[in-house]
Amino acid sequence: MDELIIAGRKFKSRLLVGTGKFASNELMVEAMEQSGCEIVTVALRRVDIDNPGDNMLKHIDPKKYLLLPNTSGARDAEEAVRLARLARAAGCEPWIKLEVTPDPYYLLPDPIETLKAAEILVKEGFIVLPYINADPVLAKRLQEIGVATVMPLGAPIGTNKGVRTADSIAIIIEQAIVPVVVDAGLGAPSHAALAMEMGADAVLVNTALAVTPNPGKMAAAFKKGVEAGREAFLAGLGEQRQKAEASSPLTGFLRN
């Protein structure tokens, strides 16, 4: 059985789904179901006390999905640690997708603050899944302090551009001692398939599902992309070469 194992916990699905930006909770749930995912990310925000509204947790079955809170909105390590502690206090298991993004335009993760926060959170017993730029040296440093995965970006969050950082991700995968989850920027099932063919252990997708008029159908398509890519990786891809190599026999032609 080909399972994804993160911090000793086994998952059948290699597709993680983000819950942001869906037009309704119903569409979010449909995408979650069609994707076959077992891990969903959520964010933590202030309650609007004058208008508390609908709590999205009502729509997520905790027996079916592991809730992975993120630290989105954190601009430095201190804010990220504060959010992680609050997420744990809210009743979550101590899993945290660590993201520190001080730059609002490209939402690129701050490597120094991410490393600082990861050190603190690992010490406090959190299972830390850091969102990082595709930097093999940073990935290594994070693994040395005990993170549960590394989550390099394919392209900036929400851009749907695909695995633009492929060469660096390949190095991260080659050197990894924890699962590599390609996160951010994947806009099409073919992007997810490519990441998996390269040997990524899993991918995380949100925007690509949330912005289409049919999130359920797109989630089903991503599920197939992830599975196809994984199977191709396990089978072993043929080597790329410069010159043609005939697939048909080079003997017995109808000529003298």
Partner 1 sequence: MNIAINGQPKQFEAPLTVAALLEALQLDAERVAVELNREVLLKERFAATNLKNGDSLELVQFVGGG
- Which range of residues in 13-21, 118-126, 235-243, 247-255 is near partner 1 by CB under 8 A? 13-21
Tally of CA atoms within 13 A in the half-sphere of 168 that contains its CB? 19
Task: Verify binding: residue 89, partner 1, rule CB under 8 A.
Answer: yes
Rounded to a whole number, what is the distance in angstroms from the first to the last CA of the chain?
54
Contact status: 195 vs partner 1 (CB under 8 A): no
206 binds partner 1 (CB under 8 A): yes
Give the whole-angstrom CA distance, residue 30 versus residue 11. 20
Q: Is 44 in the site for partner 1 (CB under 8 A)?
A: yes
For residue 104, give Cα distances in angstroms to 68, 70, 207. Answer: 22, 16, 17
58-71: b (≥16 Cβ within 10 Å) or e = eebeeeebbbbbbb
Judge whether 123 counts as a catalytic residue.
no
52 near partner 1, judged by CB under 8 A: yes
Stretch that binds partner 1, among 7-15, 78-86, 109-117, 118-126 (CB under 8 A): 78-86
Between 67 and 195, whose beta carbon lies closer to partner 1? 67
Q: Which of 4, 14, 22, 110 binds partner 1 (CB under 8 A)?
A: 22
C-beta closer to partner 1: residue 107 or 171: 107
Cβ proximity of 217 and 31 under 8 Å:
no
For 112-126, b/e burial (b = at least 16 CB within 10 A) is ebbbbbbbbbbeeeb
Query: Which span (44-52, 162-170, 221-229, 244-252) binds partner 1, by CB under 8 A?
Result: 44-52
Rounded CA separation 24/214 (Å): 12
Residues classed as catalytic: 97
Q: Which residues bind partner 1 (CB under 8 A)?
A: 18-22, 28, 41-47, 49, 52, 55-57, 67, 69-70, 72, 82, 85-91, 157-158, 184, 204, 206-207
